[in-house]
Amino acid sequence: MSAVNPVARLIAALLLALVLVLTIDPVSAGVALALELLLFPFAGLRWGEFWRRTAIVWIAAPLTGLTIVLYGQRSGRMHLEWFLVQISDGSIWLGLATFLRVLAIGLPAVVLFARVDPTDFGDGLAQVLRLPARFVLGAFAGIRLVGLFADDRRALELARRARGVADRGRLRRLAGLAFALFVLSIRRGSALATAMEARGFGSGMRRTWARPSPFGLREWGVIGLGALLAGIATAVAVVTGSWNLIVG
Amino acid sequence: MPAQGGISKPVPFHSKGTLMSTTLTTPQRSLRWRVVDIVVAAVIAVASGLIFVGWNVGTEIPRHALEALLPGLQGLFNGGWLFAGVLGGLVIRKPGAALFVALVAALLSALVGNQWGPLTLVSGAAQGLGAELVFLAFLYGNFRLYVAMLSGALAGLATAINDLVIWYPGADVPFATIYIVTSIVSGIVIAGIGSWALARALAATGALNRFAAGREGRSDV
Amino acid sequence: MPPVPAASVSARGWGWRHAGRRAWAIRDLDLTIEPGERVLLLGPSGSGKSTLLHALAGVLGDADSGEDEGELSIAGRAGLVLQDPESQAVMARVGDDVAFGCENLGVPRDEIWRRVPAALEAVGLGVALTHPTAELSGGQKQRLALAGALAMRPGLLLLDEPTANLDPAGVVEVRDAVARALQSTGATAVIVEHRVEVWLGVATRMIVLGVDGRLLADGAPDDVLAREGAALAAAGVWVPGHEPAPRLDPPPRPGPTLLTAEDLAVARVPDRIVRSGLDLALAEGEVLAITGPNGSGKSTLALTLGGLLPPTAGRVLASPELAGGAGPEPIRWRSRDLLPRLGSVFQAPEHQFLATTVRDELAVGPRALRGAGTLPDAAVAAIVDPLLDRLGLAALADAHPFTLSGGQKRRLSVGTALATAPRVLLLDEPTFGQDSLTWAALVELLDAERRNGRGVLAVTHDERFLEALSARRFAL
């Protein structure tokens, strides 16, 4: 998967998400999820890494589904009514759909983007999607900068202890730390912008690309797979009559 | 006597000949993005995105708890995502800044891996657009507190609608109403007032010296 | 690298004023630099040296950054290397970073990948093209920035304090790389620095700017030094032959031991031990210097001795005299208990700043000591005002700490530790990158402290500093 152009991965994930999001029904989401689970082992992600990265999705899905079960639109037989809680056949159906939907959309996103090289991604966005180079490269340079702050963060924490303020007020300290990191990164960002301009960046001159961004069969294959998956899920849902447009 | 004439323009990088040759009296306001605008917008976006990651994880359970109290109340937490766009607009002050920062922040939060996947980008776009429209309405010339609050409010509305359509499409009217209202309130307070205060605090450190946001309110030295 | 057509520079009545400022950074500059000359540009801070360099590089910005007057022209292309190693790498991998400038110039792909290895070789950076830029040392990062500039074949090389943030080894690396590059390309160079000695062998001409941006001296290095040497030294520049030599009384006899380390092993991250088996002791009235090459664990040791990092093995012990009822191991003390006992000063002052004004910054410690909010303003003023005078920061009492100059920030960070009168002061590279005036002020400050019944521990590369304070050495 890391060999596939990140832009192709992005398109595949977006395609899947947008098609699945158009409906709220358990069948389309369930079919999509099943197919995805079959394909995940081929994505090149290690077992432990997969579970670690998708943990938040697995937690959020049932909770979101539960929300709908409890407060969803009522239809069919009522099972429970208590204050604003209204559990009905309809809300259970919608809740199940929501649960599966979160998984069907969230899991492939994590898998597709687990190991994306920022430089390759930037190259892809600028060369393949023809987004303006100034914005793409400038943004990625800024993004990279903030990722380098691990050492600073540790120093900032130790400094708080040294200054005598680390005994209480954890939330305040976290806010202070976040602010200090904001300041440091903005200053470095401004300096980096100057350095980039000094190397001719942003001058409006037509630039060349040191690294090619290939977009070939493999990339179209991944996009095709995403489209196929979305198509099958939708088709099954339509055929079984459960496809349910979200608006209306 | 210094030579006069011609308009000073950004220096073509590899030019031969004169770099600059005029006198201008007051700094002009340009709406074109400079490189420093792009890089710092990205930096703000990433820092915000990191805060989002923490906010996502940290408020997932409290949000459901609030919801159990009164469904739709979890909208109060929305400000934690809305501030990015408003802050971007207040600091960078160029067309598209709010949208750009909100999008990149959402992109980052999606890349790290969250429960909403690539649809985070759609959320980010909605939030950014809401904030951006207010700045546009003021023609990118007014960045006072009330504008920030309005920006936060509209972003709150936009995100509530986005969430209701995509994530809570089965929800009933009371839920939707409460969600929209709390989202707007959160937008005004956290994203509006909060971002405005944060922008001022950043300016005070001198970190925003290359921006108009960092120069206003400080007397000439 | 192959030779390039060297650029020439011409300024006639040129001046620049930053937006929002009343005073002009530079005014009325008349200057001509011939192709192939190597100019060392000196002057006190605020003399507009950086401004001139940025203008030559074309990065001063357009109308909303400030205004200009007069004429400044350059025949040829300029490359710029800045001061902070951490804010110049654009890409994640070495090869891509060097290629960045070429991409912007529209150089064809195969030509780019011919220039990149050549540029890296010219600066002596022998790492793989895929080596992560984040994993380079300070000196390597600066050389990377230089390679990035060289790959663009500039006729004019501009260096804005390229060695200011480097340790002595890094300084020499970069200087040698620059010398070698200039030798093979024959480009013109303008170098801004506050350390003259390093560049004497490279510079063919020396220009001195005054505080208001006026030209004070211009000529061959030896002549200019002879004429302006004393004035430059008085302004904080490190001029060979005019270095500050604070005349201090002989060191006092050391008193009782305050802090000891027994068979200490230190690490920043719990499973990666940096050093082990360390035994040392710090006594009242002495200055102990921790020396050693980069990466030997000096900072980690200082942090552990300061009670901030836990020892991985062995112990750090505070004598009863120092601990005074708080228990023998500093790592177990509350954050507040550290204040009157162990005062730590970090290498980067920005990491320690918490407040929005200089006065409040100095007050943080005393306030934390008494419990937040229980210290009346008068009591705070009694501690802070004399300290402001001692540090020479009285005029800046209401300024935001982040807006201070490098030397002022350094003095402020030392001051924040002194505000709670700790028995032991631990400083990490206190004289790093400082001009000669701040250096002298720090030496005198620390000497006064040690005579006052304190122990001082300093992690440092600075030999002159060690000798001035007659420090005992502990080499890692």
Alpha helix positions (H), chain A: 6-21, 26-39, 47-71, 89-113, 118-127, 133-146, 150-162, 170-198, 217-239
Among B11, B140, B221, the strongest candidate for a mutation testing the C interface, having the largest count of C CBs within 10 A, is B11
pLDDT, tens only, A82-120: 766 778 887 888 888 888 888 888 888 888 877 788 899
CA–CA gap between residue C415 and residue C425 (Å, rounded):
11
**DSSP state letter for C373:** T
Mean pLDDT over C39-58 rounds to 87
- Backbone φ and ψ of C450, nearest 5°: -70, -30
pLDDT, tens only, B90-100: 999 999 999 99
What's the confidence (pLDDT) of residue C361?
93
pLDDT, tens only, B178-200: 899 999 999 999 999 999 999 99
Mean pLDDT over A227-240 rounds to 89
Q: What is the mean pLDDT of chain C?
A: 89
Q: Per-residue DSSP letters for C392-453? A: T-GGGTTS-GGGS-HHHHHHHHHHHHHTT--SEEEEESTTTT--HHHHHHHHHHHHHHHHTT
* pLDDT band, residue B111 (cuts 50/70/90): low
Mean pLDDT over C279-286 rounds to 92
The H-or-E segment that residue C260 falls in is strand C257-267
Q: Which residues of C touch A200 (CB under 8 A)?
A: 101, 104-105, 152
Mean pLDDT over C364-391 rounds to 82
What's the confidence (pLDDT) of residue C93?
94
**DSSP state letter for B78:** G
- Considering only CB atoms, A210 lies closest to which of C54, C109, C149, namely C109
Q: Which residues of C touch A148 (CB under 8 A)?
A: 86, 134
Helix/strand/coil for C254: coil
Asked if pLDDT for residue A198 goes beyond 90, the answer is yes
Q: Which residues of A touch C90 (CB under 8 A)?
A: 137, 141, 192, 195-196, 199
CA–CA gap between residue C130 and residue C142 (Å, rounded):
17
pLDDT, tens only, B127-154: 999 999 999 999 999 999 999 999 999 9
Residue scoring higher pLDDT (C415 or C211): C415
- Name the one residue in this structure whose structure tokens are 């990118």: B140
Helix/strand/coil for C9: strand
% of chain C exceeding 70 in pLDDT = 98
What's the confidence (pLDDT) of residue A85?
73
Mean pLDDT over B38-56 rounds to 87
What's the confidence (pLDDT) of residue B1?
30
Structure tokens at C297: 């664990």
What's the confidence (pLDDT) of residue B10?
36
Asked if pLDDT for residue B18 goes beyond 50, the answer is no
Residue scoring higher pLDDT (A109 or A212): A212
- Name the one residue in this structure whose structure tokens are 């070429």: C102
Mean pLDDT over A221-231 rounds to 91
- Name the one residue in this structure whose structure tokens are 């990265």: A53
* pLDDT band, residue B2 (cuts 50/70/90): very low
Q: Per-residue DSSP letters for B12-79? A: PTT-EEEEE----SSPPP--SPPHHHHHHHHHHHHHHHHHHHHHHHHHHHHHHHHHHHSTTGGGGGGH
Q: Which residues of C touch B204 (CB under 8 A)?
A: 356, 400
Mean pLDDT over A193-200 rounds to 93
Cβ(B20)–Cβ(A206) below 8 Å: no
Mean pLDDT over C219-241 rounds to 87
- Considering only CB atoms, C70 lies closest to which of B2, B10, B206, namely B2
Alpha helix positions (H), C16-74: 49-57
Asked if pLDDT for residue B15 goes beyond 50, the answer is no
B136 lies within 8 A of chain A by CB? no
What's the confidence (pLDDT) of residue C63?
60
> Checking DSSP bridges between strand A78-82 and strand A85-88, what pairing results, if any?
antiparallel
pLDDT, tens only, C83-118: 989 889 999 999 999 999 999 999 999 999 999 999
- Considering only CB atoms, C13 lies closest to which of B2, B18, B221, namely B2
Q: What is the mean pLDDT of chain B?
A: 80
C7 to chain B: closest CA residue = B16
Asked if pLDDT for residue C188 goes beyond 90, the answer is yes
Q: How far is A123 from chain C (nearest CA, A)?
A: 11
Cβ(C4)–Cβ(C151) below 8 Å: no
Residue scoring higher pLDDT (B62 or C342): C342
Task: Kindly report the number of other CB atoms within 10 A of residue A46's CB atom.
Answer: 9
Mean pLDDT over A148-158 rounds to 83
B220 lies within 8 A of chain C by CB? yes
Q: Which residues of B touch C402 (CB under 8 A)?
A: 205-207
> Checking DSSP bridges between strand C472-475 and strand C287-291, what pairing results, if any?
parallel
C365 lies within 8 A of chain A by CB? yes
Which chains border A (3 or more CB–CB pairs < 8 Å)?
Answer: B, C
What's the confidence (pLDDT) of residue B28?
54
Mean pLDDT over C293-318 rounds to 90
Asked if pLDDT for residue C295 goes beyond 70, the answer is yes
Contacts of C297 (CB under 8 A, 6+ apart): C266, C274, C275, C476
CA C166 to chain centre: 7
CB pairs under 8 A between B and C: 93
Q: How far is A201 from chain C (nearest CA, A)?
A: 6
Asked if pLDDT for residue B23 goes beyond 50, the answer is no
**DSSP state letter for C95:** H
pLDDT, tens only, C375-385: 677 888 888 99
Nearest to C235, CA basis, from C407, C25, C393, C44: C44
Residues 273-292 of chain C with CB under 8 A from chain A are: none
What's the confidence (pLDDT) of residue C474?
92
ipTM of the complex: 0.86
* pLDDT band, residue C374 (cuts 50/70/90): low
Cβ(A56)–Cβ(B114) below 8 Å: yes
